[in-house]
Amino acid sequence: MIDLNSEFGQRVERRLAEERIGWLTTVDSTGTPQPRPVWFLWHAGSFLLYSRPDTRKLEHIQRNPRVA
């Protein structure tokens, strides 16, 4: 949750609204982190990510939903 009452929170909100690419890190079956660039939209305090249904990152998320 972003504190929009603080200057830092307002900067974070602006940056998320302007950026289109971020990094999503999943974990593979051996426990190795797998960072990948992803397109995203920041809307109403939530991330919206798009992905093809046949990607490794979705396999990793199904196996271990903890991501960074």
Residue 28 lies in a domain: yes
Domain range for 47 is 20-63
pTM given for the model = 0.77
Ranges of the chain with pLDDT below 70:
none
Q: Say if CB 68 and CB 22 are below 8 A apart.
A: no
- Please name every residue paired with 40 in a beta bridge, in sequence order, or none if there are none: 49
Residue 6 lies in a domain: no
pLDDT digits (tens, 9 = 90+) for 13-27: 999 999 999 999 999
Residue 50 lies in a domain: yes
Tell me which amino acid residue 22 is: G
Residue 57 lies in a domain: yes
Residue 2 lies in a domain: no
Q: What is the pLDDT of residue 50?
A: 86
Q: Say if CB 50 and CB 58 are below 8 A apart.
A: no
Residue 1 lies in a domain: no
- The structural domain count of the chain equals 1
